[in-house]
Amino acid sequence: MTRVAGGWRLRHRHKKKLKLTKGYRGAPSILYRPANQQLIKALQNGFVSRRLRKRDFRKIWIARINGQVRQYGLNYHKFIDSQNTVLNRKIWAQLALYDSEAFIQKIQKI
């Protein structure tokens, strides 16, 4: 088998990936092969985490709304079923956290 000479393209590609793995610990920040493997894994984990973040925020919003609504004799399910406004869970959670007076006024209308 013939030897493939690595030219400037190969060096450029390696340097680009090593630059992306600069803050990694140990060999992945220095050597190309471990850096390439870590980079592939890191990009996959980032892809998954972007989707998990949406799920986690929804859980937080629901917990905040439920905690605030239970003080007034409702539970989360009844509250969400009874609301016919255009406010989503994120806005309801922000009202519950930062402006509880407005949240109470909205609950009393329902």
CATH 1.10.1900.20 fits 8-109, yes or no: yes
**What is the per-residue pLDDT across 36-53, written as a single tens digit (0 to 9) for each?**
999 999 999 999 999 999
Tell me what the mean pLDDT of segment 14-20 comes to.
96
Backbone angles phi, psi at 39, to 5 degrees: -65, -45
What is the C-alpha to C-alpha distance for residues 22 and 104, in angstroms, rounded to an integer?
50
Q: Mean of the per-residue pLDDT values for the chain?
A: 90
**What is the per-residue pLDDT across 54-68, written as a single tens digit (0 to 9) for each?**
999 999 999 999 999
Residue 6 pLDDT class (50, 70, 90 cuts): confident
- How many CB atoms are located within 10 Å of the residue 95 CB? 21
pTM of the model: 0.71
**What is the per-residue pLDDT across 85-100, written as a single tens digit (0 to 9) for each?**
678 899 999 999 999 8
Greatest mean pLDDT range, 10-19, 70-79, 101-110: 10-19
Residue 110: the pLDDT is 67
9 Rama class: left (phi>0) / alpha (psi -120 to 50) / beta: alpha
32-69 helix and 100-109 helix, angle to the nearest 10 degrees: 60
Q: Are 26 and 33 in contact (CB under 8 A)?
A: no
What is the C-alpha to C-alpha distance for residues 63 and 66, in angstroms, rounded to an integer?
5
